Amino acid sequence: MENLKVKTGIEGLDNFIEGGFPKGRVYLVAGETGTGKTTFALQYLYYGVSYGDNGIYVTIDEKPERVVEDALTLGWDLEKLIDENRLLMVELSPYFSDIKKVDSVQIVDNLKG
């Protein structure tokens, strides 16, 4: 079986991880505030969409409009990709307003829907 890789578009990272992420897997980007998680995710999505893939960005603590504004300062026009239906921004913050009552089944159902 061929070992397919998905390039990240992040300078130096693809070489470090031997050509990209193995295709067909799910990855979690985690870290403290200010460590670059959002920048990493947006750069990866922007690169992928620029090369023909579609993407979804899910946020639980930032408004999508703010993410789009911040990305534009880095030269990434996410609004254009959203308008072209190539990038979807999903805000889940309403589900986390009361962290004691998070209904994961409802979140998944709404994402499917």
Most confident of 3-7, 59-63, 80-84, 91-95: 80-84
Query: What is the torsional sign of CA 99, 111, 92, 27?
Result: positive
- CA atoms 11, 12, 13, 17: torsion sign: positive
Regarding pTM above 0.85, the answer is no
* pLDDT tens digits, one per residue of 20-40: 999 888 888 888 989 999 999
Question: In this model, does residue 103 exceed pLDDT 70?
Answer: no
The region, left, alpha or beta by phi > 0 then psi within -120 to 50, assigned to residue 100 is alpha
CATH of 5-112, one of 3.40.50.1360, 3.40.50.740, 3.90.1170.40, 3.40.50.300: 3.40.50.300
Backbone φ, ψ for residue 21 (5° rounding): -80, 140
In the chain, where the domains are located = 5-112
Q: Nearest Cα to 23, choosing from 10, 6, 8, 9?
A: 6
Mean pLDDT of the residues in the chain: 86
pLDDT of residue 30: 86
Q: Is the model's pLDDT at 81 over the cut of 80?
A: yes
